[in-house]
Structure 1
């Protein structure tokens, strides 16, 4: 589910969908705008495996859990974090 498996194609895995969301999240946008942008991007780039809205939301949840997106004033914002600057506990 998070990564490709025998039943989940690579273009539908949550990490792939999350990467596609991040790739298009170049400015703060609403969840609806991000959904429309992702659908357009997937259609334009030949990703025809269906991704329903609930799968998109799961991908957003995974991105939030990884700390790469935030919701600020009802807008999705990509957090730009320098990996070298983060400290592990």
Structure 2
């Protein structure tokens, strides 16, 4: 689930989705704005419906657990290393 397997293509693995999501996070972003940006990105690349909202939330959780994003006052922001 986190990493690609024989039955899970690399672009659907949580680590790949988390990478896409991380690139979409601006200075301060809401969850809904990140989700909308991801959907727009997938529309332009003809990957509509490939990532469900559940996988998107799991990707955000993964980024939070890795210490790459933080949640404060309703906004998600990147954590500076």
CA–CA distance in structure 2, aligned partners of residues 33 and 23 of structure 1: 13
TM-score by length of 2: 0.89
- Within 5 Å, give how 1:71-86 maps onto structure 2: 71-81=71-81
TM-score by length of 1: 0.82
**Root-mean-square deviation (CA), in Å?**
1.4
C-alpha contact 1:69 1:79 (8 A) present in aligned 2: yes
C-alpha contact 2:70 2:77 (8 A) present in aligned 1: yes
Structure with greater Cα Rg: 1
| Structure 2: unaligned runs, 5 residues or longer | none
| Structure 1: unaligned runs, 5 residues or longer | 82-89
C-alpha contact 1:12 1:49 (8 A) present in aligned 2: no
Partner of 1:41: 41
Q: How many pairs are equivalent? A: 81
Partner of 1:22: 22
